[in-house]
């Protein structure tokens, strides 16, 4: 197992951690004309229950 030989400086540690940040989820509008609500891509719309032009979930 790799073990560091030297202590990493506070500056290097903080500059590495500065790249870690929360990212807002990607949302796309529902292709259903009646709905149009934002939803995650490649998932069933939680509002109308459609996916890829088909009714998948009864809402």
> How does pLDDT run across 5-47, given as a tens digit for each residue?
999 999 999 999 999 999 999 999 999 999 999 999 999 999 9
Q: For residues 31 and 15, what is the distance between their CA atoms, to the nearest angstrom?
A: 41
State the pTM of this model. Answer: 0.59
pLDDT of amino acid 30: 95
> Is the pLDDT assigned to residue 1 strictly greater than 90?
no
> Is the pLDDT assigned to residue 59 strictly greater than 90?
no
pLDDT of amino acid 56: 92
* Cβ atoms 42, 26 nearer than 8 A: no
End-to-end CA distance of the chain: 52
Q: For residues 40 and 25, what is the distance between their CA atoms, to the nearest angstrom?
A: 8
């Amino acid at each position: 197992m790799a073990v560091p030989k030297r202590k990493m400086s506070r500056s290097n540690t903080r500059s590495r951690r500065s790249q870690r940040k929360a990212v807002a989820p990607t949302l796309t509008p529902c292709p259903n004309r009646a709905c149009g609500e934002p939803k995650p891509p490649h998932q069933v719309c939680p509002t109308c229950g459609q996916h890829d032009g088909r009714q998948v979930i009864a809402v």
